Amino acid sequence: MNLLDSPDAVHASDGSHVQSVRLTMPPAKDLMMGTILALSIVINIWLIYEYRDFRTQEWLKNNDLTFFKTNEYADLKAKVLSQESLINSYGLRQACKEK
């Protein structure tokens, strides 16, 4: 076999830079393991989002929005309206005092 035909041959001349670039593929076992690991990560992320969406849908279906009518949010509208009327009446008093 001729030295120039070998894949490790480096061609250089006087005063030039020597550059040898060799691209090699990792072993097939490493490629398969990397692919399996990447697929596992992607599938796990997808399943987490699907599970979260399923739990949200289940929560909304089970509560049927009665949670907001019967729990601490039930009298929220009344509180907001009463505070709004207090703010408006205070604002009117302030406007009357300023004139």
The lowest-confidence range among 19-33, 43-57, 83-97 is 83-97
The answer on pLDDT for 19 being more than 60 is: yes
What is the separation of C-alpha 28 from the centre of its chain, rounded to a whole number of angstroms?
A: 32
The answer on pLDDT for 1 being more than 50 is: no
Nearest to 18 by CA among 26, 7, 5, 9: 9
Rounded percentage of the chain residues whose pLDDT exceeds 90? 18
Average pLDDT, the chain: 76
Of the CA atoms within 13 Å of residue 16, those in its CB half-sphere come to 8
The answer on pLDDT for 63 being more than 60 is: yes
Please report which helix (H) or strand (E) contains residue 64, including its range. Answer: none
Q: What pLDDT score does 65 carry?
A: 64
Helices (H) and strands (E) in the chain, counts: 3, 0
Q: CA distances (Å), 50 to each of 63, 65, 91, in order?
A: 20, 22, 50
Q: Which amino acid is at 54?
A: F
Query: In 3-state terms, what secondary structure has residue 15?
Result: coil
